[in-house]
Amino acid sequence: MTSTATRPDPRPEAEPDAKPPLALGDRVFKALSVGSGALIMVALAGVFIFLALEGYPGLSVDEDFYNPATTFLGYAGPLLFGTVLAAVIALVIAVPFAIGIALFISHYAPRRLAVPVAYLIDLLAAVPSVVFGLWGGRELAQHIGGASVWLEEHLGFIPLFAGPAAKSGSTMLTAAVVLAIMILPITTAICREVFAQTPRLHEEAALALGATRWEMIRTAVFPYARSGMVSAVMLGLGRALGETMAVAMILSASPVVTLNIISGQSPATIASNIASNYKEASPDGQAVLIATGLVLFAFTFGVNFLARYLAGRGQRRMAR
Amino acid sequence: MAKSIDVSDLDIYYGSFKAVEGVNMTIRARAVTAFIGPSGCGKSTFLRSLNRMHEVIPGARVEGKVVVDGQSLYDPSVDPVAVRRQIGMVFQRPNPFPTMSIYDNVLAGNRLNSKRMKKSEADTIVEKSLKGANLWNEVKDRLGKPGMGLSGGQQQRLCIARAIAVEPQVLLMDEPCSALDPISTSAIEDLIHELKSDYTIVIVTHNMQQAARVSDDTGFFNLKATGEPGHLVEFNATKKMFSSPDESSTEAYISGRFG
């Protein structure tokens, strides 16, 4: 690209006429697709500019707004920590399930079972997050509260389960489990698609060497699907980081930084904190909340870039 | 190492569709047996039934017997995975594992068989297999590079190296040269000649000159009519097949007067 742009063109007049004229349909379609592509960039830039302009004042307002901390970092830190903690635990729970279900659908289940299972999983994605919040807060929380007591008793030496266990179940663990259920469909759907696209040739190469089904999946399917699996996890992570209602309805938030996921004292997530406080906040308070939104935006962006880079590196190595 | 294969009254089905009917033959050890015939006549299906690879397709099953060295392949107690470890296969299009280096590709089968190997042992297997596949001199300086970086013919020889690395008794080849240029094809044919001193080789080919060049015995498959199952028309020594076949339809096919 760059070399043709910098090299002087020997036939300057011939250039515009050199392209054959496009048919009307092609011109319309090109305009539509270029326009859509540009629009998404504009929208993204617009969101970023809004967050930066509106959130900037929030970085340095009166100390009271950062209560109980005194600086913006002290305020946003625990929230970011809570966001990441909830999302990471959700991923740890959801990803093995998602890969297992996807493999079941693409490689293990007979067709007449695979299709309905795939359909049910997709249906899970259609449940609104408020409904998940209600169910999580009222029903699931009680069971997890009970389980938390057991976890504290038997696995209390792990910092995650240090306790004291909250019997109500309004804990990080409950929120993470609900988040895991919410990100399961998208992660499963994408994994399923990439698994199903593994070239038959590679699968047969493994089978003909005497691979069992699991060995075939390990030698042929997973290497082929790797970058797709990263995308799937990233989309799940994106949803978990940004999920608002379910978390807001489950967590009883307090501004602490703790790995302890079964106690009643757990940090809120950025998104749920914005949702619970935005309406009642003064203009300065709102600016602070928008600034935390900017932090979330930047963080998600960074995580996505990192993941793309890691997935791409694997692929470049493969292509060389 | 090499074993002969006895096939008796073999019918192959996909679901309720009978693809191949009533095949009887003895495939000799340490010889090359070629299958020829028009597309869709079931020769590839038959080849794949010899290491139970056709079972990859749901609903596939066989009736009849395939016996290798006194052991029936379709005995209920026999694990298809074990069969495939004894009977290797090379496919129509080269299919090295794209994420693996040349070195790891050769060892893929050995690693599946999950013995812990010493580095020196692995090196020996890689060198021996690549030499056996006439590829060693071309790749010995870049064993760590991906297998996909090789040319098509080299990839196919890499696949052969991968198949012989586990020291199978039989090597099945499903049109191994159909995606290759004439020079690579000739390299593979030379290789088949060398391999037959150690292995029983069965090859499906669309190229009759190839069958005449490489094989000792030839089987001609044909369809009775469209929609009917394929069947073995004639099975004879290659020399006889290409000079004075018993069946007139074999002669018609070989001389290009088919139909």
Q: What SS3 string covers chain A?
A: CHHHHHCCCCCCCHHHHHCCCCCHHHHHHHHHHHHHHHHHHHHHHHHHHHHHHHHHHHHHCCHHHHCCCCCHHHHHHHHHHHHHHHHHHHHHHHHHHHHHHHHHHHHHCCHHHHHHHHHHHHHHCCCCHHHHHHHHHHHHHHHHHHHHHHHHHHHCCCHHHCCCCCCCCCCHHHHHHHHHHHHHHHHHHHHHHHHHCCCHHHHHHHHHCCCCHHHHHHHHHHHHHHHHHHHHHHHHHHHHHHCCHHHHHHCCECCCCCCCCCCCCECCCHHHHHHHHCCCCCHHHHHHHHHHHHHHHHHHHHHHHHHHHHHHHHHHHHHC
**Residue B1: predicted pLDDT:** 57
Is A208–B51 a contact, with Cβ atoms under 8 angstroms apart? yes
CA angle A240, A256, A153 (to 5 degrees): 85
Nearest CA in chain A to B106: A209
pLDDT of A319 over the 80 cut: no
User: Out of A203, A209, A314, whose CB is closest to B112?
Assistant: A209
**B163 in contact with A, Cβ within 8 Å:** yes
Q: In residues, how long is chain A?
A: 320
Residue A13, both tokens: 């007049």
**Residue A18: predicted pLDDT:** 66
For the domain spanning A29-319, the CATH number is 1.10.3720.10
User: Out of B84, B146, B166, whose CB is closest to A320?
Assistant: B146
pTM reported for the whole predicted model: 0.80
Is B93–A201 a contact, with Cβ atoms under 8 angstroms apart? yes
Q: How far apart are CA A241 and CA B254, in angstroms?
A: 68
Nearest CA in chain A to B172: A208
Contact B67, B6 (CB under 8 A): yes
- For the ranges A10-19, A44-53, A74-83, A275-284, the lowest mean pLDDT is seen at A10-19
Which residues of chain B neighbour A215 with C-beta distances below 8 Å?
112
Buried b (16+ CB within 10 A) or exposed e, B205-223: bebbebbbbbbebbbbbbb
Q: How far apart are CA A38 and CA B254, in angstroms?
A: 61
Q: How far away is chain B from the Cα of A111, in angstroms, using its nearest Cα?
A: 10
Which residues of chain A neighbour B88 with C-beta distances below 8 Å?
208-209
**B103 in contact with A, Cβ within 8 Å:** no
pLDDT of A320 over the 60 cut: no
In this prediction, residue A5 has a pLDDT band, given cuts at 50, 70 and 90, of: very low
- Please give the order of strands across the beta sheet that includes B32-36: B71-72, B60-68, B5-14, B17-27, B230-237, B217-223, B32-36, B200-204, B170-174, B87-90
In this prediction, residue B162 has a pLDDT band, given cuts at 50, 70 and 90, of: very high
Cis peptide before A68 (omega within 30 of 0): yes
Contact A221, A195 (CB under 8 A): yes
Which residues of chain B neighbour A107 with C-beta distances below 8 Å?
none
In this prediction, residue B12 has a pLDDT band, given cuts at 50, 70 and 90, of: very high
Residue B251: enclosing H or E segment and its boundaries? Answer: helix B248-254
Q: How far away is chain A from the Cα of B250, in angstroms, using its nearest Cα?
A: 31
User: Out of B88, B89, B146, whose CB is closest to A318?
Assistant: B146
Q: Is B77 or A162 the better-scoring residue by pLDDT?
A: B77
Q: How far apart are CA A163 and CA A153, in angstroms?
A: 9
Residues ≥6 apart with Cβ < 8 Å to B202: B5, B27, B32, B33, B34, B35, B47, B50, B170, B171, B172, B173
pLDDT in tens, A26-43: 899 999 999 999 999 999
Which of A204, A207, A209 would best serve as a mutation to test chain B binding (most B beta carbons within 10 A)? Answer: A209
Q: Which domains, ranges and CATH numbers included, belong to chain B? A: 5-254 (3.40.50.300)
**B148 in contact with A, Cβ within 8 Å:** yes
Is A209–B93 a contact, with Cβ atoms under 8 angstroms apart? no
pLDDT of B246 over the 60 cut: yes
- Provide the greatest CA pair distance for chain B: 57
Which residues of chain B neighbour A205 with C-beta distances below 8 Å?
91, 95-97, 159, 162
**Residue B132: predicted pLDDT:** 87
What average pLDDT does the segment A54-82 reach?
Answer: 82
In this prediction, residue A103 has a pLDDT band, given cuts at 50, 70 and 90, of: very high
pLDDT of B174 over the 80 cut: yes
A6 CB burial (10 A radius; 0-12, 13-18, 19+): exposed
ipTM of the complex: 0.87
Residues ≥6 apart with Cβ < 8 Å to A234: A303, A304, A307, A308
Q: What are the φ and ψ backbone dihedral angles of A73, each rounded to 5 degrees?
A: -60, -40
Nearest CA in chain B to A109: B58
Is B51–A320 a contact, with Cβ atoms under 8 angstroms apart? no
Q: How far apart are CA A206 and CA A219, in angstroms?
A: 7
**B81 in contact with A, Cβ within 8 Å:** yes
pLDDT in tens, B175-232: 998 888 888 888 889 989 988 888 999 999 988 889 999 999 999 999 887 778 888 9
pLDDT in tens, A247-271: 888 887 777 777 777 777 788 888 8
In this prediction, residue A166 has a pLDDT band, given cuts at 50, 70 and 90, of: confident
Q: How far apart are CA B244 and CA B246, in angstroms?
A: 7
Which residues of chain B neighbour A219 with C-beta distances below 8 Å?
97, 108, 112
Which residues of chain B neighbour A204 with C-beta distances below 8 Å?
53, 56, 89, 91, 95
Q: How far apart are CA A97 and CA A119, in angstroms?
A: 16
Domain coordinates in residue numbering, chain A: 29-319
Is A320–B85 a contact, with Cβ atoms under 8 angstroms apart? no
pLDDT of B113 over the 70 cut: no
Residue with the two structure tokens 């599946």? B112
pLDDT of A235 over the 60 cut: yes
Q: How far apart are CA B87 and CA A313, in angstroms?
A: 37
Contact residues, chain A to chain B, C-beta under 8 Å:
110-111, 199, 201-212, 215, 219-220, 223-224, 226, 314, 317-320
